[in-house]
Amino acid sequence: MQLDKDSILAANGSLHNHEADFNHLAEKLSRSHTDVEALVKKIADFQVAVPSWALGAGGTRFGRFSFHGEPATLEQKIADVGILHALTQTAGAVSLHIPWDVPTDYAAVKQIADQNGIVFDAINSNTFQDQPGAKLSYKHGSLANTDEAIRAQAVEHNHEVVRIGEKLGSKSLTVWLADGTSFPGQRSFQKALAQTEKSCKEIYAGMPDDWSLLIEYKPYEPNFYSTVIMDWGTSFMLANACGERAYTLVDLGHHLPNSNIEQVVATLMAKGKLGGFHFNDSKYGDDDLTVGSIKPYALFLIFNELVYGMEHNPQNPDLAWMIDASHNVKDPLEDLIQSLEAIQEAYAKALLVDQKALAAAQLNHDVVQCQEILQGAYRTDVRPLLERARLSRGGALDPLGAYRTLRVREGLIGERGKHTVATGL
Ligand SMILES: [Mn+2]
């Protein structure tokens, strides 16, 4: 199923209300000398990768409830990203997970991606599960394992992932480790860290010169006493040990409650070491909920630092943006549409922050004014800007509304049936 521009245009209907809302906001913003056209262009240019594992129903360790019309093949997953992109014009990339999504026909996979305007962003390895036919088990760790042969198998898997990514045009590898311990005394912290550093360096040494290594961290789960790469500091240290094309990847859900993620982002960007970013939201831990569904103001504050970094830290690379969420009760495509909208909304609001005025207020120790500036941007209803950005690229005025009006899920069920199950979940 592919959505054509004409059906989206038809679903858009009259733009009368949009024009009125946009003109009202544009007039208001121009009073503070905002270049509205440039703002819309920046929003339209912002693209986020959708991971191949997010198109089907997720699940918890207690159960998984299938969703009808799930994509059963990699080609169908890319087609789903194409639907999201056609509607939102902000999901122009897919992030594959290996070995869940090893292409069997590279030409066919690239062709369907091309047809849908989708590129291949960072590719993800998996050494947190044993795959069918695997010689050695990762039960007690992969890159940090005490057994050299197991570490070698895990390093080789990462090299294999890079080779797959090269055929598709990816330029970065994301490594997330489940390695750690669930009980005190289970392993030597120092030895586990040293083995991880050695393995990461071997992965890095095997990557092409134009590739980046993105190192993700997480404080707990699936191990509950310790994880080897527990926080941004450990990731940063490993990235520095590997070399200049190794970076830290921040996942919003991979922090202990109330962590100041915006400060983490600012610190990493100042050091030129923030390489990737995973969006989701959470109440308690790595909940993988819809972006912006729980803490939209925190998301805005994080975006404020990201925008500052993108404008002031040329030492930091362009980031690999990805949604890393799981869909247990919502239609995954509807959930992703909501996440994409929340990301763009936070980004647009952060773009509205008057950085000059904020710097002046900071110099004057005008704490009240600092808050006024941030919250003034945050309280602005930027949705007409998002609508204009989507319309400028042929997207939907209201992506969720169009998805329902065009009966996309019903169409997918018609094509795929009710009982397909997405691979890897
Ligand atoms: Mn992640």
Task: Write the pLDDT tens digit of every residue in 35-51.
Answer: 999 999 999 999 999 99
- How far does the centroid of ligand 1 lie from the alpha carbon of residue 324, in Å? 5
For residues 195 and 424, the model is more confident at: 195
pLDDT, average across residues 386-400: 98
Contact 69, 403 (CB under 8 A): no
pLDDT of the residue at 18:
98
All domains in the chain, ordered by first residue: 5-416 (3.20.20.150)
Cα distances (Å, whole numbers) of residue 292 to 118, 256, 336, 345: 24, 18, 11, 9
Burial 363-383 (b: 16+ CB within 10 A, else e): eeeeeebbeebbebbbebebb
Residue 418: band (very low, low, confident or very high) from pLDDT cuts 50, 70, 90: confident
Q: Whose CA is closest to 420, among 273, 412, 289? A: 412
- How far does the centroid of ligand 1 lie from the alpha carbon of residue 299, in Å? 16
pLDDT of the residue at 422:
73
**pLDDT tens digit string along 346-379?**
999 999 999 999 999 999 999 999 999 999 999 9
- How far does the centroid of ligand 1 lie from the alpha carbon of residue 311, in Å? 25
pLDDT, average across residues 68-86: 96
- How far does the centroid of ligand 1 lie from the alpha carbon of residue 86, in Å? 25
Asked if residue 415 has pLDDT above 60, the reply is: yes
Residue 63: band (very low, low, confident or very high) from pLDDT cuts 50, 70, 90: confident
Q: Is the pTM of this model over 0.75?
A: yes
* Helix pair angle (106-115, 148-168), 10° resolution: 50
Across the chain, mean pLDDT equals 96
**pLDDT tens digit string along 219-276?**
999 999 999 999 999 999 999 999 999 999 999 999 999 999 999 999 999 999 999 9
